[in-house]
Structures are given as structure tokens and as C-alpha cells.
Amino acid sequence: MAFEKIKSSQPSVVKLLINSMKKERLSHAYLFEGEEGTKKFETALYFAQMLLCTEEEKPCGECHNCRRVRHLTHPNLYVVEPFKNSIRKQQIIDLQNEFSKTSVEEGPKIYIIKELDTINISAANSLLKFLEEPHPNTYAILTTANIHRVLPTIISRSQVVQFSSLDKSLIERDLIDEGYPDEQAKIASLVSNRLSDALSLLSDDFFLETIELVKELYRMLTEVKDSLVTHLHEHGEFIFQSNESLKLFLSIMVLHQKDLLHVRMKYTQAVVFGDALEVSKEIVSRKSKERITSELEEMLSLTSRLNHYINQRLAIDNLLIALERR
Ligand SMILES: [Zn+2]
């Protein structure tokens, strides 16, 4: 495993971990969130090596500890992964037992739970208890590609570290190099899979109008004036042109909604709508994390239901009404 690759593909994550270690401000639990292929597990191993390496320049990658981490044979490293598509209670109990054994060596202990979103409820409850009792020098790294499926109680006990999608961050950089404003470049890269798609979005007024519409709807949530539905009917008729246009609208709504979670978790580096930060903060001060999460889930589920026959206008109206409910 080439660590230089992790450094170049997830530079902000590596920087965050190195800085927290230097400042001795490590969290006891990290939640690595990012799409498949973003090297979350490899980065978790890198982190374990940082903690266990015996050399000055950590991780050296070569010492006995670094090698044992790489081969998953270090007794202070424990990896849990889904068994038959889910993480079960017994696996969490085994983890706890393993770490209470004396065979564990001196120094930090690290456990990694892969695909945390597959955890079943009773296992999640055991894990929560484990996370709540502080174990000195023990670090949890939880990874998921679907943070919206992770229990908010687990999220709130972890430091969320967002992994940027590899290709998308490259697309974003290319767009910024082409001279597009940061926010537009970011949104275009997040909602498209190829540079060419992102470029054609950016040259389309429809895309820019949709961004403005979404920002306006969120801004309106901070006021008591007009209703979102009325605003949409008067200024947002264009989103109903096609399934694609409606999907784009929802994707951009999802990005703004995720910003609320990022603001809530004080992870502002991940915020997409940077100049709407005050708006997001204002909304977050009024809504619980559970509510923000369930609204996000509704947006995602609506996106997947668009393929079926549904009354699209009614569904969007209902979504907006739910957002502005007080
Ligand atoms: Zn080492």
C-alpha cells in the first residue's frame, strides 16, 4: 500500500489526522465518510500506523509495528467487517473482549469498523455503550459510504471526517482552473460523473438558475414571510421540465441539506454553499440534527422514487412544506 497515494488523494484528511496527533487532540472515535473507492480503510490503517509506529517520522511504514499493521497482524489492531451483509452484536462483544485481554501490547489500541451503515440495531446499541465509556488510548475508526444510514447517536459521538470523491475533487480542480467560481465548480463536480458533463452543466443557464432557486428556498427558511411552495410556483416552474431537471434540483437541495449537517458537526470545510453559511447556521439553530437528517432522507428517497410514477409537483410541494414546518 503506497502511502504517498493516500497523501495525494486525501490530502485534507491526512493533514487533519497529522495535525490532531501533533497537537494531542485526537478524538476517540472517527467516522470516515466517503464513497466507495475513496481509500477509507487504507487511511484507517495509515492512522493506526501513525499511532503505533516506533520511529521518529510517523508512520515510517517499515518498522515492526508498521509492518504488522499493514499485514493486519498487530494485536492492538482489530478490524470488524460485515458478516453476511451486516455487523452483528456478537462481533461487537468479541471486539470488547479482545481489547480487555492481556495479550494486547502496551500502547494505543485501534479498532476499525467497516461499512458501519450495515450494523444492526442491537449491535449499534452495544457499540454506543462502548463509545460512551472512555477507554484510555483506544481509538475507533468507523467507515461508511452512506452516512445518512448511520444512527445520529453514533454520528454525534464521533468526529466525522469526509473523504472527497477522488475523481470529483479532480474535476472540481479542473473546473476552477478553467476559471469557474468555486461554488459552481464544486456543485457541478458533485452532481456529475465526468468533466465533460460538469462543463456542459456550467454552460447551461438552467443549472445556474437551479442553484439560485435552491439558495433562495433555504434563505427563505430563515424568514417567516412567503411560503416556499408559493415561491416555487412563481419562480421555479422550470424545474418541472423533465425528470432530469427535477433530479438536478433535488441533487442540489441534497447538497444544501448536507451543508446543514456539516455546520451542525462544525465541519465547515465540507460546506458547499460557502456564502450561505450564515443561512445554514440560522437553520441549524432552529432544527434538531434528527430532523435535518430525516429531511435529508426524504430528499434522497424522493430522488430514487422519481423514476416511478408519482405526482411530482405534489411530492415537491410536500417536501417544501415539511422543510418550513415550525
Ligand atoms: Zn513505523
What's the 69 CA to ligand 1 centre distance in angstroms?
Answer: 9
What's the 112 CA to ligand 1 centre distance in angstroms?
Answer: 19
Sketch out the chain's domains with CATH numbers: 3-162 (3.40.50.300), 204-324 (1.20.272)
Sorting pLDDT into bands at 50, 70 and 90, what band is 102?
Answer: low
C-alpha cell at 45: 490503517
CA distance 58 to 13: 16
What's the 67 CA to ligand 1 centre distance in angstroms?
Answer: 7
What's the 47 CA to ligand 1 centre distance in angstroms?
Answer: 11
What's the 35 CA to ligand 1 centre distance in angstroms?
Answer: 28
DSSP code for 165: P
Say what the pLDDT of residue 294 is: 92
What's the 51 CA to ligand 1 centre distance in angstroms?
Answer: 9
What's the 81 CA to ligand 1 centre distance in angstroms?
Answer: 25
Sorting pLDDT into bands at 50, 70 and 90, what band is 94?
Answer: very high
3-state SS assignment for residue 76:
coil
CA distance 203 to 249: 16
Instruction: Write out the DSSP string of 98-159.
Output: HHHSTTSPSS-EEEEESSGGGB-HHHHHHHHHHHHS--TTEEEEEEES-GGGS-HHHHHTSE
What's the 166 CA to ligand 1 centre distance in angstroms?
Answer: 27
What's the 307 CA to ligand 1 centre distance in angstroms?
Answer: 51
Q: Tens of pLDDT along 6-27?
A: 777 788 898 899 888 888 889 9
Please state which of the ranges 122-126, 147-151, 158-162 shows the lowest mean pLDDT.
147-151
Q: Tens of pLDDT along 288-318?
A: 999 999 999 899 888 878 766 789 999 999 9
What's the 136 CA to ligand 1 centre distance in angstroms?
Answer: 22
20, HSE (Cβ side, Cα atoms, 13 Å): 18
Nearest in space to 110 (alpha carbons), one of 11, 21, 15, 5? 21
Is the per-residue pLDDT at 157 higher than 80?
yes
Phi-psi region of 63 (alpha: psi -120 to 50; beta: other; left: phi over 0): beta
Q: Give the residue, 165 or 67, on which the prediction is more confident.
A: 67
What's the 260 CA to ligand 1 centre distance in angstroms?
Answer: 39
Percent of the chain with pLDDT over 90: 61
Is the per-residue pLDDT at 3 higher than 70?
no
In DSSP terms, which residues pair with 80 in a beta bridge? 113
Is the per-residue pLDDT at 153 higher than 50?
yes
What's the 52 CA to ligand 1 centre distance in angstroms?
Answer: 7
Sorting pLDDT into bands at 50, 70 and 90, what band is 47?
Answer: very high
What's the 301 CA to ligand 1 centre distance in angstroms?
Answer: 45
What's the 304 CA to ligand 1 centre distance in angstroms?
Answer: 46
What's the 252 CA to ligand 1 centre distance in angstroms?
Answer: 43
Q: Tens of pLDDT along 195-244?
A: 778 899 999 999 999 999 999 999 999 987 789 999 999 999 999 999 88
Sign, CA torsion 131/132/133/137? positive
Angle of helix 243-264 relative to helix 205-220, nearest 10 degrees? 50
Is the per-residue pLDDT at 168 higher than 60?
yes
Say what the pLDDT of residue 241 is: 93
What's the 137 CA to ligand 1 centre distance in angstroms?
Answer: 18
**pTM of the predicted model as reported, rounded to 2 decimal places:** 0.56
What is the average per-residue pLDDT within 110-126? Answer: 94
Q: Tens of pLDDT along 240-291?
A: 999 889 999 999 999 999 999 999 988 888 899 999 999 999 999 999 999 9
